[in-house]
């Protein structure tokens, strides 16, 4: 599932390609991924693109916003005949002759470049909303972990919940954009077991989790994410944070810090990886 670093990467990439171009055609190939009429897009231009949590908000000339959520397996792919830029979910069996059977929405610009929305499991969606609705979406989501407002004092204030720490990190109403990959990586880096209740954490552990949350997310953006592909060619190069993963999808392998083997369990309903020696 694309998380904050992956969504941030595609937003940064698309901002260089899709802004200011006139939209000439749209094609909805699967109705269920569309939550509102999209016809309004035709003849308009995109003025701005931003990420909020795992949401993508694209400002339309008429003042409305195209909201895109990639959910589990959504992908956005831009193609202009010279290059293909893709972001979101990465699958090895990616088919680059677009559109293909998982392409559910196509947008064509006046210069004949295209933006494709692919989604294998079809949980992602597109919707056009007005500014008020966009702000409402935004209000429902917690703080941006890379914003200046997210400081240790703020973190100490919001971390008072009855949940375990993994469930807390995943809960979008506290902190925006963290999913299963980065929750596991953050807790490994902080040396805290994912099953620990928030109440049981001491001041030093809370400080470590705070610092490492920012550190890991910043690093992941720098590496263009984990599940992210930037298909300048069709080789399917992955976002390079994958080489830096310490626990995620490393169950059964040796810990990078000690002799123990990385374990996998279920916490907060999600597959969770940890090192029982390095994490207390």
Contact residues for Zn ion (CB under 5 A)? Answer: 255, 257-258, 260, 275, 277-278
Structure-block tokens of residue 117 = 């929305």
Q: Say which of 21, 163, 219, 270 is annotated catalytic.
A: 270
Rounded to a whole number of angstroms, the minimum distance from the CB of residue 209 to Zn ion is 17
> What is the closest distance, in whole angstroms, from the C-beta atom of residue 67 to Zn ion in the complex?
41
Give the nearer residue to Zn ion in terms of CB position, either 117 or 248: 248
Quick one: 110 or 258, whose CB is closer to Zn ion? 258
- The DSSP 8-state label assigned to residue 99 in this structure reads S
Residue nearest to Zn ion (CB): 255
In 3D space, the residue among 214, 210, 234, 231 whose CA is nearest the CA of residue 222 turns out to be: 214
Helical spans, DSSP H, in 129-202: 131-140, 152-158, 165-170, 180-190
- CB nearer Zn ion, residue 137 or residue 274: 274
Between 167 and 275, CB nearer to Zn ion = 275
Contact by Cβ (8 Å): 249, 273: yes
Q: Is 2 a catalytic residue?
A: yes
The one catalytic residue among 5, 51, 54, 194: 54
* Whether 270 is catalytic: yes
Tell the smallest beta-carbon distance from residue 255 to Zn ion (Å): 3
**Cα 87 from Cα 171, distance rounded (Å):** 23
| Residue in 3, 8, 144, 223 annotated catalytic | 3
Cβ atoms of 186 and 204 within 8 Å: the answer is no
Tell me the closest approach of the beta carbon of residue 183 to Zn ion, in angstroms: 17
Alpha helix (H) residue ranges in 23-88: none
Peptide linkage before 257 cis (omega within 30 of 0): no
**Whether residue 54 lies in the annotated active site:** yes
Output 34 or 247, the one with its CB closest to Zn ion: 247
Tokens representing residue 65 in the block? 């916003």
Residues sharing a CB contact under 8 Å with residue 123, sequence separation 6 or more, in sequence order? 71, 72, 73, 74
Q: Smallest distance, Å, CB 256 to Zn ion?
A: 7
Name the residues annotated as catalytic: 2-3, 54, 270
């Amino acid at each position: 599932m694309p998380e904050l670093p992956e969504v941030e990467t595609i937003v940064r990439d698309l901002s260089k390609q899709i802004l200011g171009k006139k939209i000439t055609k749209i094609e909805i190939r699967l109705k269920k991924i569309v939550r509102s009429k999209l016809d309004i897009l035709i003849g308009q231009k995109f003025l701005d693109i931003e990420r909020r949590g795992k949401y993508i908000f694209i400002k339309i000339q008429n003042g409305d916003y195209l909201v895109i959520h990639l959910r589990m397996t959504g992908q956005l792919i831009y193609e202009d005949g010279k290059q293909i830029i893709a972001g979101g979910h990465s699958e090895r069996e990616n088919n680059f002759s677009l559109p293909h059977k998982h392409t559910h929405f196509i947008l064509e610009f006046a210069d004949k470049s295209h933006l494709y929305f692919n989604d294998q499991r079809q949980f992602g969606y597109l919707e056009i909303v007005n500014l008020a609705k966009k702000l409402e979406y935004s209000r429902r989501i917690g703080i941006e972990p890379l914003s200046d407002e997210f400081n240790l004092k703020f973190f100490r204030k919001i971390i008072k919940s009855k949940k375990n720490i993994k469930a807390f990190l995943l809960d979008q109403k506290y902190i925006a954009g963290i999913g299963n990959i980065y929750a596991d990586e953050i807790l490994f880096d902080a040396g805290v077991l994912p099953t620990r209740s928030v109440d049981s954490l001491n001041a030093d552990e809370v400080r470590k989790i705070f610092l490492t949350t920012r550190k890991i997310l910043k690093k992941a953006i720098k590496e263009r994410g984990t599940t992210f592909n930037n298909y300048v060619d069709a080789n399917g190069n992955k976002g390079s944070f994958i080489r830096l993963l310490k626990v995620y999808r490393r169950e059964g392998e040796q810990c990078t810090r000690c002799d123990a083997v990385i374990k996998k369990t279920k916490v907060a309903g999600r597959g969770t990886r940890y090192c029982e020696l390095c994490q207390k």
